[in-house]
Amino acid sequence: MTAALDAIHARIAAAARAAGRDPAAVTLVAVSKQQPPEAVAGALAAGHRVFGENRVQEAQARWTPLRPQHPDLHLRLIGPLQSNKAPEAVALFDAIDSVDRPKLARALADAVQKAGRAPQVLVQVNTGEEPQKAGVLPQDADAFIAEVRAVYGLPLAGLMCIPPVDEEPAMHFALLAQIAARNGLPELSMGMSGDFETAIRFGATMVRVGSALFGAR
């Protein structure tokens, strides 16, 4: 696992330098969903601490026992969240990257109040305007971002997107970067195993890498 992590870090660093960016400005989010416990144990043993999961229950089962041994763990929810799971998500995750509607923002704000613990949040943007995909539409993003900040008071740090599988991702990354810039948001979670180098060229500050790191799910 150390070699696999080193290889991804080297690719991230090369992509950052090629774009005139500091490699340290790009965080590797290791996407551990559906991976066997050995894979995660290997990444932890190699010193990796930032992980992404897409389901609350799966993440709870995996990480609750590991937390006490790894107080510096940083867990990000990168999958869709149902409002009724907001309290569990707030209790477990250090960041929730899929905030995309007022009902969820309200549920998170309530959960934060009760828990006295506020994970960082990202707003997910459906840059491809795909009906089956989560995320706020690009034309509604500015208003929703303002609402997340002013009405719900959540600690909003940036944006996340998942481009359509059958399209050139570059234009989607560029669009996300543009929306973030005009809203003064520093964090951009974009890029997966197949396209993280492109995402870094367009300003990604977090890349979410699963299969290229751990192998196929």
Ligand X SMILES: *Cc1c(COP(=O)(O)O)cnc(C)c1O
Binding mask 13-32 for ligand X (x = CB under 6 A): ------------------x-
200 binds ligand X (CB under 6 A): no
Contact assessment for residue 162 and residue 54, using Cβ atoms and an 8 Å cutoff: no
User: Which tokens sit at 125?
Assistant: 């943007």
Task: Identify which of residues 54 and 127 has a Cβ nearer to ligand X in the complex.
Answer: 54
79 binds ligand X (CB under 6 A): yes
Mention every residue, 6+ apart, whose C-beta is less than 8 A from residue 181.
Answer: none
Contact assessment for residue 169 and residue 197, using Cβ atoms and an 8 Å cutoff: no
Indicate if the alpha-carbon torsion angle 128, 138, 96, 73 is positive or negative.
Answer: positive
Q: How far apart are CA 88 and CA 84, in angstroms?
A: 9
By Cβ distance, which residue is nearest to ligand X?
210
199 binds ligand X (CB under 6 A): no
User: Which tokens sit at 116?
Assistant: 């006295």
**CB atoms < 10 A from the CB of 26, how many?**
23
Identify the residue among 50, 59, 179, 192 touching ligand X (CB under 6 A).
192
Identify the residue among 162, 185, 200, 206 touching ligand X (CB under 6 A).
162
Task: Identify which of residues 55 and 149 has a Cβ nearer to ligand X in the complex.
Answer: 55
Element spanning 53, H or E: strand 50-53
78 binds ligand X (CB under 6 A): yes
210 binds ligand X (CB under 6 A): yes
Task: Identify which of residues 3 and 216 has a Cβ nearer to ligand X in the complex.
Answer: 216
Contact assessment for residue 29 and residue 53, using Cβ atoms and an 8 Å cutoff: no
Residues 92-151 that bind ligand X (CB under 6 A): none
Task: Identify which of residues 191 and 203 has a Cβ nearer to ligand X in the complex.
Answer: 191
Task: Identify which of residues 110 and 197 has a Cβ nearer to ligand X in the complex.
Answer: 197
Contact assessment for residue 32 and residue 212, using Cβ atoms and an 8 Å cutoff: no
Tell me, by CB under 6 A, how many residues bind ligand X. Answer: 14
Residues that bind ligand X (CB under 6 A): 31, 33, 54, 78-79, 162, 192-194, 208-212
